[in-house]
Amino acid sequence: MDAGPIWASIEFKMRDVSKGELYRNEVTQAAAKGVLQAVEYFAKKDFKPMPLDYSNPIIKGAWNNKTQQKDFAFSWEDEISDILRKLRAADSAPGVLIELGRQKFYAYGAHEEGQIKGNARIIK
């Protein structure tokens, strides 16, 4: 979203997938539809794009500042759903900076493992 007037708006259902997966599919398809819709409106001489006004109740979304690594930080004691949500919301390159076994890595593409069972142990 940028700060200019709104020429078209396309809604789509959010899936519980990575940011990259969402952009490669739903966002790309919505963007293509939006461009076609905007071109159609542009051809109409009397069309006026809607000003971006967050106080207008029909405007969905909100301004978000640029994300940083700290926005995706988590504790290994967090719920798995919260950890996965943060990893999926981050860019896949470089990923989310994590510490595992006293070493730092970038994590991405995570999913919950359903086969391995046992007691978790935090290495300090």
Is the pTM of the predicted complex or chain greater than 0.75? no
Q: What is the mean pLDDT of residues 87-103?
A: 90
**For position 121, what pLDDT does the model report?**
63
**For position 122, what pLDDT does the model report?**
58
Q: Which range, 27-36, 76-85, 88-97, is most confident? A: 27-36
CA nearest neighbour of 88 among 13, 33, 27, 22: 22
Residues whose CB falls within 8 Å of the CB of residue 58, separated by 6 or more in sequence, listed in order = none
- Are 72 and 90 spatial neighbours (Cβ–Cβ below 8 Å)? yes
CA nearest neighbour of 89 among 106, 75, 113, 109: 109
pLDDT tier for residue 86 given thresholds of 50, 70 and 90: very high
pLDDT digits (tens, 9 = 90+) for 52-79: 888 888 888 778 888 999 999 999 899 9
Cα(56)–Cα(27) distance, integer angstroms: 24
